[in-house]
Amino acid sequence: MAWEEKDNALYQSFTFKDFSEAFAFMTRVALIAEKQNHHPRWTNVWNKVEVWLNTHDAGDVVTDRDRKLAQSIDKLTAN
């Protein structure tokens, strides 16, 4: 699944084998987000993680910062 731009955010849903894999993914994303100083809005229920990216200090719209973080997240899930 690719990132979808809707409601002024990039959105993607990720599904994993179980909660442990989903949480490990979130941990890896958190480390990248911290390095980029750009943090996602996300939810996690069992094996599903939903991510929304937009730039708050730019008026809650999608910017290059969001696209950069999305690309970094995509590298984590590439097989």
Average pLDDT (6-25) is: 97
DSSP letter at 12 equals: E
**pLDDT given at position 30:** 97
pLDDT band of residue 79 (cuts 50, 70, 90) is: low
- Tell me the per-residue pLDDT of 54-64, one tens digit each, with 9 for 90 and over: 998 887 889 99
Give the integer Cα–Cα distance in Å for 77 and 72.
9
**Contact status, residue 76 vs residue 25, Cβ threshold 8 Å:** yes
